């Protein structure tokens, strides 16, 4: 029985429970030699966590080539990544790659998209609704399916460069509100990963001077109306416009300004 999935140790993550739950055993390797030695008649597939692609010793292309030499497919979890066309992972030789419908695509949260070899996708289809197999409880409704289709169509037509500039403009609106508070500094950086790719505004300050730290600011924003979720730490907060809509930049800016103002000594 094919009941083993090979993965690089640095690619293990909490989300691989979705693989383990079908009853397979995860076999960890670190090098190409270890990968080749681990392949056997029980190997069902090779697993790649896209966000860790650059951390391992084996590239996606090398994983796929070694897998193909042994008749084993390679599957990539790229849930929060950009589903670019042409697809980078498929060009590297991966056999299937999965994306969340509710992240970059901004479609229904209870949906997902798998691209790749037709026979593998048909096998996945046969294991889910409307068929009575393992994935029946995880079915996507017709509403999610049509919503995801619309999201894919919009993604292909979207001007991604213009969208990035719009995100930066929104972060500029927030920067203008906070920049005059004592000790506040702001920087815009890009995330150093493949997932959730967007500019990030870092707002830092001296908690003693301002009268509140970033963790407390984030907590107040989360508990307020409207509720705003962002990352906070002892030295400040960070804001990513990835899921924001037009006009919400002004709401976020105003609320942050209110919280900082109310904390002034």
CA distances to 42, 107, 111, 240 from 14, rounded to whole Å, are 23, 23, 19, 23
User: Same domain, yes or no, for 257 and 134?
Assistant: no
State pTM to two decimals: 0.87
The string of pLDDT tens digits covering residues 11-34 is: 999 999 999 999 999 999 999 999
| Domain co-membership, 234 together with 113 | no
Q: What residue ranges of the chain have pLDDT lower than 70? A: 192, 265
Say yes or no: 97 and 11 in one domain.
yes
**Contact 78/15 with Cβ under 8 angstroms?**
no
pLDDT of residue 265: 61
Is the domain of 29 the same as that of 99? yes
| Structural domain for 206, as ranges | 160-262
**Torsion sign, CA atoms 236, 240, 245, 246:** positive
In a shared domain, residues 149 and 224: no
Which strands, in side-by-side order, build the sheet including 199-204?
Answer: 185-190, 199-204, 236-239, 231-233
Same domain, 175 and 117: no
Contact 201, 168 (CB under 8 A): no
Residues 118 and 186 in one domain: no
Closest CA to 235 of 253, 217, 259, 261: 217
Q: What is the CATH number of the domain that holds 17?
A: 3.40.640.10
Asked whether residue 145 falls in the same domain as residue 235, the answer is no
Q: Of 157, 178, 200, which residue constitutes the final position of a domain?
A: 157
Structure confidence at residue 108 (pLDDT):
95
Same domain? For 15 and 138 the reply is yes
Domain count, the chain: 2
pLDDT for 192: 67
Is 83 in the same domain as 141? Answer: yes
Of 120, 140, 157, the residue at which a domain comes to its end is 157
How does the average pLDDT of the chain come out, rounded?
94
Residue where a domain terminates, one of 109, 130, 157: 157
d(CA 52, CA 10) in angstroms, rounded, equals 7
Same domain, 242 and 142: no
Cα separation, 54 vs 96, in Å, equals 19
Give the domain CATH number at 222.
Answer: 3.90.1150.110
pLDDT reported for residue 225 = 92
Position 53 scores a pLDDT of 87
pLDDT at position 196 is: 83
126 shares a domain with 8? yes
């Amino acid at each position: 029985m094919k009941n083993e999935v090979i993965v690089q140790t640095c690619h293990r993550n909490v989300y691989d429970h979705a693989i383990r739950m079908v009853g397979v055993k995860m076999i960890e390797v670190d090098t190409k030699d270890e990968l080749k030695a681990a392949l056997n008649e029980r190997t069902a597939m090779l697993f790649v966590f896209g966000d860790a692609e650059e951390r391992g010793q084996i590239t996606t292309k090398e994983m796929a080539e070694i897998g193909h030499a042994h008749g084993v497919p390679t599957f990539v979890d790229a849930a929060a990544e950009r589903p670019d066309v042409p697809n980078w992972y498929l060009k590297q030789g991966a056999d299937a790659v999965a994306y969340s419908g509710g992240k970059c695509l901004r479609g229904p949260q209870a949906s997902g998209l798998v691209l790749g070899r037709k026979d593998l996708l048909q096998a996945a289809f046969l294991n889910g609704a409307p068929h009575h197999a393992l994935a029946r409880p995880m079915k996507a409704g017709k509403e999610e399916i049509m919503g995801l289709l619309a999201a894919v169509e919009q993604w292909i037509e979207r001007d991604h460069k213009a969208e990035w500039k719009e995100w930066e403009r929104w972060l500029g609106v927030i920067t203008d509100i906070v920049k005059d508070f004592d000790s506040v500094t702001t920087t815009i950086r890009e995330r150093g990963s493949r997932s959730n790719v967007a500019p990030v505004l870092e707002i830092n300050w001296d908690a003693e001077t301002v009268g509140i730290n970033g963790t407390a600011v984030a907590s107040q924003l989360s508990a307020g109306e409207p509720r705003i979720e962002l990352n906070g730490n002892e030295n400040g907060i960070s804001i990513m416009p990835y899921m924001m809509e037009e006009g919400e930049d002004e709401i976020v800016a105003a609320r942050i300004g209110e919280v900082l103002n109310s904390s002034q000594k």
